[in-house]
Each structure stands twice: as C-alpha cells, then as structure tokens.
C-alpha cells in the first residue's frame, strides 16, 4: 500500500473531539488513499494482495490518545475506527471514541461523539490525489456530565452535545499534502456550568476546589461557532518508515454564545479567532496489512477564550491499523 503517512491526527486545539480534523479524507492518512483500475469491491484476494495502492475492502484501527487540556486536565481517549469500501473510489468511515477525563475538580468518563463520513477520491495517480469528504457528527450525550453531583465545565465533557455537519477537500502532490475543511454545529447543548454561580467560602474545607471550579470558562447551553481548518504537511519516506511535519491552523469563524444566570443568551467575546498547531508524526508499515504510528502536536497560537473545552497544550497519539480483505 503506497502511503506517506497512514494516519496523521494530531489536533492540539482538541479538534479530534469535534471530529473535523480527522474526518474521512480530511485526515491525511486518507489523503494518501490512491486508487487504480481495480474494482476493490469485486477483486479477488490475489489481485488485492498484488495491488500497489491502498486496496482494502475493510479497515479497522484503534488509537490511544493522551492530551493536556484546560488547567492541565488529563484527557485519555480510546478511539475505534472502521472503514468500508463501497465503491472503488468511495469509503464509508466510522469513528467511536471512549473518553476519561481527570483534573483538579474531579473526573468524568463517557462515549465521545460518533463521526460518520463518506469520502470519495475523484482523481488519483502515482504523484497526485484529490478527494472530498462529507459527514455528520452525532452527540452521545447532552454535554452535562457531573462529578459528585456537581455540574462540570466543557473541559470535562466527553461530548459536545450537538449535531454537526462537515465537509472538505484534500490534495496531495508527491510528498506534499493539504486539506481544507469546514464544520457547522446546530443549536445549543444542555451543559449547565456557570462560573459566576460558584460559591467561594474561605472557611470551607472545599475552598481550593471552589476556587479551581470558578477558574473554568462558563458554558451553560453553549452554542459553538463554526470552524475552518487548513492543514499543510511535508512527508519523508525511508523504506517502511513514514515521517511527516506540518502546520494545522484552525479558525473559529464566529464567537460562541451561552445562556447566563439571568436566562439571557450572550455572545462570548474573543471566543473566535485562530489556533495554530505544529504537528509531527511517524508511521511504520509492519507488513502488507498492518501499520503502527506515533503522533504529536502542540499549539503555538490559540484562541483567547475557549468555553467549548477544546484546549490542548499537547496531544500524543499511539495507533495501529489493519487492512481486512
């Protein structure tokens, strides 16, 4: 299978939570999903084994993800992935994350948002590849997980609590690849966290916890702004080892909004703007059907206000993928 980097999903803003940066062909692994004249849905085993391009009918994979969020919150994800080739140039992809979050005000756990995408490669060859992706992100809860019966901020939520749609294009020329994508979320979630309602009692045994809770961004009934991404990467191939370095700008086009303690909907000023991530990764092809990877990312510029809890000061990903015929 020809590939420069089978999966490159480092998203220091936390974009892997909304799903845009790693959806379908917007994930640079799938940017490399070249095709030939083989009909992959009908080809025999020998024909597939001898193909010099990505030729699997089915693919499964798993990633273990560690990230540092707001106030050095530790975020652990086990992400399960599956792909089915429904036509020679078309794949259906499903991503299911399981999340555990621990920080200075407690811990939560739950299933993350499901990401379902269709990607179609409309131009492919030895040196060039172009594809588009369309998809939906399905919430698995209302983004109102609690700890000790206390409402938790979005930094501790496994789901964003809203439906989203996404779309984008990926391009590859030789060892260079680029991606542009857009994500729009519908409505508001059911989160109830407001830092202004956190009571601080200096004589209480819970004083430190109260101060810590008050330092998180308010997110009651959060409505997220739209996201635009533009990823550029340069790959290096050394036999079975793939190396890639790149930049991943994520632009929040509009401010988010929340509902304050009076019940009014208010715009969260400075919640729009640019987050610029530097990314790097390694991928090694163990055999014809299996690969492993290690990825890292960190922001050098971030949005000033982040009520959606998607801040990541660093992300490390260890993953494995297997082709099934």
Rounded to an integer, what distance in angstroms lies between the CA atom of residue 57 and that of residue 122?
Answer: 18
Residue 173: its pLDDT value, please? 87
pLDDT at 236: 87
Query: Residue 208: what are its φ and ψ, rounded to 5°?
Result: -60, -40
User: What's the pLDDT score for residue 254?
Assistant: 92
Q: What is the mean pLDDT of residues 124-141?
A: 88
Q: Which residue has the higher pLDDT, 43 or 256?
A: 256
Q: Is the pLDDT of residue 31 over 90?
A: no
CB–CB of 92/118 below 8 Å?
yes
Domains and CATH numbers, the chain: 20-139+162-186+230-250+276-324 (2.40.160.40)
Of residues 33 and 134, more confidently modeled:
134
Q: What is the pLDDT of residue 304?
A: 87
% of the chain at pLDDT higher than 70 = 82
Confidence category of residue 148, pLDDT binned at 50, 70, 90: very high
CA pair distance 16, 201, nearest whole angstrom: 37
Nearest Cα to Cα of residue 160 among 113, 219, 101: 113
Residue 45 pLDDT grade (very low, low, confident, very high; cuts 50, 70, 90): low
Distance from CA of residue 228 to its chain's centroid?
Answer: 13
Across the range 237-266, mean pLDDT stands at 91
Q: What is the mean pLDDT of the chain?
A: 83
DSSP reduced 3-state for 28: helix
- Mean pLDDT over 253-266 rounds to 95
Q: Per-residue pLDDT for 152 more than 50? A: yes
Mean pLDDT of 37-45: 52
Cβ of 35: how many Cβ atoms within 10 Å? 22
For residue 23, the model assigns a pLDDT of 65
- DSSP letter string, 202-269: TTSTTHHHHHHHHTSPP-TT-BPPPEEEEEEEEEEEETTEEEEEEEEEEEE-S--EEE-TTS-EEE-T
Name, in order, each residue with C-beta under 8 angstroms of 210's C-beta and a sequence gap of 6 or more: 198, 199, 200, 201, 204
Q: Which one, of 93, 263, 111, 217, lies nearest residue 166 by Cα?
A: 93
| ∠ CA 65-190-113, rounded to 5° | 30
- Paired with 324 in beta bridges are 58
Task: State pTM to two decimals.
Answer: 0.84
* pLDDT number for residue 325: 66
- Buried-exposed string 14-25: b where 16+ CB fall within 10 A, e elsewhere: bbbbbbbbbbbb
């Amino acid at each position: 299978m020809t590939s420069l980097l089978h999966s490159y999903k480092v998203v220091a803003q936390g974009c892997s939570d909304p799903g845009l940066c790693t959806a379908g062909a917007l994930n640079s692994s799938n940017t490399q999903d070249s095709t030939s004249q083989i009909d992959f849905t009908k080809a025999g085993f020998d024909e597939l084994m001898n193909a010099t391009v990505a030729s699997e009918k089915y693919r499964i994979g798993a990633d273990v993800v560690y990230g540092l969020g707001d106030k050095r919150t530790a975020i652990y994800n086990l992400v399960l992935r599956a792909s089915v080739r429904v036509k020679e140039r078309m794949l259906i992809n499903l991503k299911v994350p399981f999340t555990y979050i621990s920080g200075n005000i407690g811990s939560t756990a739950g299933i993350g948002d499901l990401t379902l995408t269709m990607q179609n490669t409309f131009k492919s060859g030895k040196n060039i590849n172009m594809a588009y992706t369309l998809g939906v992100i399905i919430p698995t809860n209302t983004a109102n997980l609690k700890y000790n019966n206390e409402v938790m901020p979005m930094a501790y939520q496994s789901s964003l609590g809203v439906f989203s749609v996404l779309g984008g294009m990926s391009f590859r020329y030789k060892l260079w690849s680029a991606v542009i994508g857009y994500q729009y979320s519908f409505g508001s979630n059911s989160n109830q966290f407001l830092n202004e309602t956190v009571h601080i009692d200096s004589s209480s045994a819970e004083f430190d916890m109260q101060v810590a809770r008050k330092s998180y961004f308010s997110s009651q009934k959060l409505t997220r702004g739209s996201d635009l991404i533009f990823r550029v990467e340069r790959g290096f191939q050394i036999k079975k080892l793939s190396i890639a370095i790149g930049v991943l700008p994520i632009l929040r086009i509009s401010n988010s909004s929340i509902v304050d303690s009076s019940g009014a909907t208010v715009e969260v000023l400075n919640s729009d703007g640019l987050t610029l991530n530097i990314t790097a990764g390694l991928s090694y092809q163990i055999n014809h059907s299996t690969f492993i990877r290690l990825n890292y990312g960190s922001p050098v510029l971030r949005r000033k206000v982040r009520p959606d809890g998607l801040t990541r000061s660093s992300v490390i990903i260890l993953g494995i993928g297997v082709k099934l015929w």
